[in-house]
Structure 1
């Protein structure tokens, strides 16, 4: 079984393509009638779908993995734990699932990249949803200690009201670009031309 394309995608950090690539490779291998289940990189495959936020594909993959393989390979169970937490919107549980397992050398970079993206996503969610938030709630959502979360958000321009332990969210400045529609410009030109003549 040739997984060089998968190893290339992992090496080049093309993590958003891992799930789809694994799906294609799995179909190719299965269509040739090759026995692959024992050596298939199910954990990487699951994490690839999770990284791409394709929870439906991750769930269907999980259901297709033979029970014996699930039980004999703890990394598959650990990958699915992340998926379960995402599925049930247990945001803090995602961090626990990521940190609660010693990932293989093949999976560690992918899981780390997922965790960084997830933290960025959660941070952006907090920015869009709150104008103030308690330090404890921010820490819970970001999967960090209160000190780590405070330092993290302060680096992003938030401020801390230490008397109330509340963080004041810095909203990004909104710049509107006015787009010029050429058809409107043409009609305006014709109108002005008509008025002048």
Structure 2
């Protein structure tokens, strides 16, 4: 079983490609009739589906992993705990699951990238959902200490009211696409033509 494409994607930090690579490789190995259960990088495979927001595929993969492997490789179960919290939309629980395990050298970079991506996505949810939020709640959502969360959001131009412990969210400007009305374009063309002649 050749996992060089997976290794290359991880080394290049092309984490969004890992799920497709492993899915295709799994199909190929299964079609060849090769047993792969013990050597398969299940932890990476599960995490790759979480990384691309494909929780249903991760759930299916989890169900196919033999119990003996789940029991003998605790890192697979630790990755699955992240997925369980994602499924429940327990934002703080996702961060706890990430911090709650001593990840192998092989998975540390991927876990770190996932954590960073997840924090950014949760931050965008906060921006869209709140105009003000308590420092405690922001810290819980972002999986940080109150000081770290305050520092993080201040870097994003939010403001803090120290006396009330509330953060004021800075909304991101909404970019709207302007549509060109063909009639207005025709009028403008006629006007410019009239000015030139």
Report the TM-score when normalising by structure 2. Answer: 0.91
Cross-structure match for 1:100: 100
* CA distance 1:167–1:190, shift in 2 (3 Å): closer
Q: Which residue of 2 aligns with 1:127?
A: 127
CA distance in 2 between partners of 1:114 and 1:191 (Å): 55
SS in 2 for 1:114: helix
Counterparts in 2 of 1:175 and 1:49: CA distance versus 1, 3 Å: closer
Q: Paired residue for 2:157?
A: 157
Q: Deviations over 1:53-106 (max 9, x none)?
A: 100000000001111111110010011000000001111000011111111122
Shift >6 Å, 4+ stretches: 189-192
Residues paired across the two proteins, number: 195
Q: CA deviation at 1:34?
A: 1.3
Structure 2: runs of 5+ lacking an equivalent: 192-197
What SS does structure 2 have at the residue aligned with 1:167?
A: strand
> For residues 150-177 of structure 1, what are the alpha-carbon distances to aligned partners after superposition, in whole Å with 9 as ceiling and x for unaligned?
1111111111111111011111233545
Q: Equivalences for 1:13-52 in 2 at 5 Å? A: 13-52=13-52
SS of equivalent residue, structure 1 residue 172: coil
Aligned-pair distance for 1:187? 4.8
Per the alignment, in what secondary structure is the counterpart of residue 16 of structure 2?
helix
Q: CA RMSD in A?
A: 2.2
- CA–CA distance in structure 2, aligned partners of residues 36 and 178 of structure 1: 53
Q: Partners of 1:174 and 1:81 in 2: how far apart?
A: 35
Q: 1:35, CA displacement in angstroms?
A: 1.4
Return closer, same or farther for 1:119/1:28 CA change in 2, 3 Å cut-off.
Answer: same
TM-score where L is the length of structure 1: 0.91
Aligned to 2:194: none
Unmatched 5+ residue regions in structure 1?
A: 193-197
